[in-house]
Structure 1
Amino acid sequence: MPHPLSLLLQRHSTPSRQLGEPGPSGDELEALLQAAIRVPDHGKLVPFRLVLLRGDAKRSFGERLAQLSLRVNPDMPESKREKDRTRYDFAPLVVAVVAHVDASSKVPVIEQELSAGCVAYNLLLGAQALGYGAQWLTGWAAYNREAAGILGLADNEHVIGFVHIGTPQIEVPDRERPDLDDVLRVWTP
């Protein structure tokens, strides 16, 4: 019988460039997204949105980002433009997890952003539970207002991360993890 925490104890990321077809779709995708949005949400604000990038939309988004980065930096080498153009091409599904912040709420902004971050993390765990690989990435586009505009985000919204989901094309070795004793202390008065 597997340990009840085995999914968490085995969680790891698969590099986005090593994710290929197939990816979740249909009922499986809907179940993954439903599970992802079951997160702590102080004040029931629902401070998150999801934007799915699939198929030609991924390529179009990458093209627009490459144009934006070239406009900002006209001397950018072709290799960097190509990286911007193709960074969303590998995994069959990319989910932009968006923080939808209500600055007037009594709930602190950081709590709203952490709720959206939990959505991204649930996507990682859910993808792994379904047998897929996933990676949570940001990159400059997650922090750029014009890139947010390309995604159609409102002024009170920003990208928490792009979660790339697909089938691992390689066996991913686990990385070294912190020793619990190095990060844990017991508070005493």
Structure 2
Amino acid sequence: MDALDLLKSRNSAAKLASPGPSEQELAEIFAAAMRAPDHSRLRPWRFLQIRGAGLSALGDLFAEAALHREPAIGEAELQRFRQQPLRAPLIIVVISCIQEHLKVPRIEQQMSAACAAHGILLATDALGYAGIWRTGSNAFDAHVMAGLGLSANEEIAGFIYIGSRDGRAKPLPALKMADYVKDWR
């Protein structure tokens, strides 16, 4: 696929199934992620791969975090949190690793990690798989971050769910460039 066609056609997939990428394909995906814009070459990101039994463990962590946030939560809602990670054969947790730096502010480091996440999604699509970037309350939850082993200077940029597209791609809306691009003067 032509690079411009990929950039213009990538589309999130909410329904994912097995198989997910092979180890060789994951190496390609991470190589693409690590080419994100990176002022001063800080490499302000790292990635956790979660698959197999780890998906159920992540679901348990999500349920524990939900219980901490809302002690009166019902069992049905806890079960919903437990099932969330099981929607794909692979989840890549993109972590922003914020460093004190005179020239590179926090927001720029967060955006660099976000670009790495986008690189993961683009490479996933280029390899014939599909993905979706999810956040939600778990991405910002201290219990989840601790359970995943994040340091005090780290935060979750997103959970990238990856697998084979289950069903048809949703149609992309037609966007008018004039609605988004203006000349300054």
Q: TM-score, normalised by structure 1?
A: 0.93
Q: Report how far residue 72 of structure 1 moved.
A: 2.7
Secondary structure of 2:184's counterpart equals coil
Q: Decide which of 6, 15, 20 is 2:17's aligned counterpart.
A: 20
Counterpart in 1 of 2:139?
142
Counterpart in 1 of 2:67?
70
Q: 1:90-129 deviations in whole A, cap 9, x for unaligned?
A: 2111000000001344211111000000011011111100
Counterpart in 2 of 1:6?
5
Residue 17 (structure 2) pairs with residue 41 (structure 1): no
Residue 118 (structure 2) pairs with residue 121 (structure 1): yes
Asked if structure 1 preserves the Cα contact closer than 8 Å seen for 2:65 and 2:141, the reply is no
Report the CA distance shift for 1:31/1:63 in structure 2 as closer, same or farther (over 3 A).
same
Residue 86 (structure 2) pairs with residue 89 (structure 1): yes
Secondary structure of 2:146's counterpart equals helix
Distance 1:48 1:140 in 2: 20
Distance 2:171 2:181 in 1: 22
Q: TM-score, normalised by structure 2?
A: 0.95
Distance 1:81 1:175 in 2: 33
CA-atom RMSD in angstroms: 1.4
Distance 1:105 1:156 in 2: 16
Runs of 4+ with >6 A deviation: none
Counterpart in 1 of 2:156?
159
Secondary structure of 1:165's counterpart equals strand
Q: Report how far residue 4 of structure 1 moved.
A: 4.9
Counterpart in 1 of 2:29?
32
Amino acid at match of 1:117: A
Distance 1:79 1:172 in 2: 30
Percent of residue pairs bearing the same amino acid type? 35
Secondary structure of 1:29's counterpart equals helix
Secondary structure of 1:175's counterpart equals coil
Secondary structure of 1:166's counterpart equals strand
Q: Report how far residue 27 of structure 1 moved.
A: 1.0
Distance 2:80 2:166 in 1: 20
Q: Report how far residue 144 of structure 1 moved.
A: 1.0
Distance 1:177 1:49 in 2: 34
Q: Report how far residue 5 of structure 1 moved.
A: 1.1
Report the CA distance shift for 1:148/1:31 in structure 2 as closer, same or farther (over 3 A).
same
